[in-house]
Structure 1
């Protein structure tokens, strides 16, 4: 809901989307730096995926226990909390002296993103006037994916061309978080504006996977599509930089950051196409495009080819973006206003489960099969899942929509 006449001079949904992007960038900032941490501390590829998975576990834990907090206490307090957690995570990396602070930093970053995902998405949607609803939907998903993409690009460029590569990226991000906090202070509070009265006090109870009846018909296909797409994101943010360095001998950190950035850039481009195709067509189209990207990534692993990897990156990102925005839009539209934050958080639980479990499987497989063969097994499994979603679930969703 747009702000009332007393808050018209305050920032609107583009500013909220900027805050969203800054917060999400912290989640992927360490991506191109894992090789440096491996050299400094000394740990295996499996430990890289475990460090990465700690972040995703933090996201899921917060989404399950506090995903609806912003529906209860307001968007701004939760946004402040998310930015604060991100700042403390940056401090953990700044003073890192071994695995304990790496784990702490990734866990706190996961807590931050868990609070931010549903809250910032809801805030962006609610700050937009009705005639800008479609643009706001794109702004929210683009801020999510764009922020995640800018993290590795920023860290890779600073690590390659500036001093102190393991600390400077986090100093820069802390400065960006300070600016984002000022913006949040100026944003109108949409929950209070929507209610038109003081928010009642609630005794907090963990929400679990809370999906209201109005949204259940569209939630399953959207969640499975998000699971498949985020599995690809997890592979790139946890493992692909190591594949570039170890297999393709492309150990330039700026290149690693740019490759991961291109995945999220392609995802953002896919999201921009969702409005033209429509939600119903975008879900299967996105899943099938994701399948094509996964096949190209698998071929790049088999042939040890950087051009094939780049082609798979762009196709996979495009498909993930199409399916992700379609799923988020359908879930957000179906959820009642009083449960929107919690329902969107449940959607992100499914997505971040896809980010966690398959990547940990890759890390475990590297101990027996090596990085290249583990990646091939991963791409084969996720390709089958995405193909099933693309071919079967849209029909189920249509049948559910046609039912009573």
Structure 2
């Protein structure tokens, strides 16, 4: 029992480090309006600044998604914290647009190093038999950190001085503390190789993973696309269409989607991995419909409902997808398989958002949002129908649980 308690303590500390890193990736979300006033850029530029982050994430996942399987989890995560600290310094120094691009790119590099490696690390720190709980700790740390970012920045921007500086100073201090914690945690990769012997390798899928990857990746794509809209353009919609200019409220609305995702993940245990994916798709479709209503009738309650329902659907679908892929992967290829899933997810968080940014200028924010919703609704409907006809199974379950 004592050993198990120690294992769970290490698992939770690893999750806390994961969460701190992810806080920095969404910290600028409620501040984009202030940056627009300071630098005078358009809504399209907001989506491009946001997409620079996703480019950093996907680039690292494609080139280094397997590195922590070889050199160890801790060295990769320490580099990720270093990039997170550098990102905070860029925002603290932001006197021109170039600093924002640099800060977002560094934040993306940090998240790219963390997503696969930290997820695998948290799962490996757990005691034997705790795979399901550890998967929840990892995904909750990911989504909880993403949710705390806009909430922290929004509250500080609204109620404290220097709104464009204090959030990043606080995050920088948290990153330093996280590095100290990480240095005290054990390494979980037993057979490590020097970095000089590791070659870049695309996130790979073994035959066992391929069977579950396509539907899992599709659901992840749509869920992250919905989050991309909330974190990039929803503050502008709240300010321009609903006259909600309170930064704390704006940050809270975005945070609700991520917190609801954590709640959705809790339901995966009793529901089962196989059922959570189609149910998650159904909830995502409902969330998209609520968001369409919010855009059409300019309703704040519908925005909040869409965040809650869509976020819960994303949590159901994403934890189910992550569990299915992680269980199907071989231990020495787990981070690479998880990284492949995140490549698809972060493609979803970037490309649709850029498309919305391009459409906003000619047809307006509301119409661009409706086009986005229609495209994502078709995609998630197709994925849900596919999953109903061919439920996901894993080596451990042998079918739907």
Q: Cα distance, 1:144 vs. partner?
A: 0.4
Question: Distance between the aligned counterparts of 1:296 and 1:314, measured in 2?
Answer: 10
The answer on 1:316 being equivalent to 2:310 is yes
Instruction: Give the direction of change, closer, same or farther, for the CA distance of 1:53–1:201 in structure 2 (3 Å limit).
Output: closer
Partner of 2:259: 265
Q: Cα distance, 1:395 vs. partner?
A: 2.4
Question: Distance between the aligned counterparts of 2:7 and 2:303, measured in 1?
Answer: 47
The answer on 1:151 being equivalent to 2:145 is no
Question: Normalization by structure 1: what TM-score?
Answer: 0.94
Which residue among 129, 132, 154 is the counterpart of 1:131? Answer: 129
| Structure 2 counterparts to residues 5-404 of structure 1, below 5 A | 12-192=10-190, 195=191, 199=193, 203-397=197-391
Aligned length: 397
Question: Distance between the aligned counterparts of 1:389 and 1:214, measured in 2?
Answer: 20
What do you get for the CA RMSD once the two structures are aligned? Answer: 2.1
Question: Distance between the aligned counterparts of 2:64 and 2:94, measured in 1?
Answer: 28
Q: Unmatched 5+ residue regions in structure 2?
A: none
Instruction: Give the direction of change, closer, same or farther, for the CA distance of 1:325–1:398 in structure 2 (3 Å limit).
Output: closer
Q: Is the 8 A contact 1:13 1:136 kept in 2?
A: yes
Q: Is the 8 A contact 1:11 1:183 kept in 2?
A: no
Q: Is the 8 A contact 1:24 1:113 kept in 2?
A: yes
Instruction: Give the direction of change, closer, same or farther, for the CA distance of 1:336–1:255 in structure 2 (3 Å limit).
Output: same
Question: Distance between the aligned counterparts of 2:51 and 2:375, measured in 1?
Answer: 19
Q: Is the 8 A contact 1:149 1:263 kept in 2?
A: yes
Q: Is the 8 A contact 2:277 2:387 kept in 1?
A: no
Q: Unmatched 5+ residue regions in structure 1?
A: none
Out of 291-300 and 128-137, give the one that drifted further: 128-137
Question: Distance between the aligned counterparts of 1:74 and 1:139, measured in 2?
Answer: 20
Q: Deviations over 1:1-48 (max 9, x none)?
A: xx999x969951000000000000000000000000000000100000
Out of 381-390 and 164-173, give the one that drifted further: 381-390
Q: Is the 8 A contact 2:150 2:254 kept in 1?
A: yes
Q: Cα distance, 1:204 vs. partner?
A: 2.8
Q: Cα distance, 1:62 vs. partner?
A: 0.2
Instruction: Give the direction of change, closer, same or farther, for the CA distance of 1:172–1:74 in structure 2 (3 Å limit).
Output: same
Question: Distance between the aligned counterparts of 2:312 and 2:393, measured in 1?
Answer: 27
Q: Cα distance, 1:135 vs. partner?
A: 1.2
Instruction: Give the direction of change, closer, same or farther, for the CA distance of 1:269–1:8 in structure 2 (3 Å limit).
Output: closer
The runs of at least 4 consecutive aligned structure 1 residues that moved more than 3 Å come to: 7-11, 198-202, 396-403
Question: Distance between the aligned counterparts of 2:87 and 2:194, measured in 1?
Answer: 32
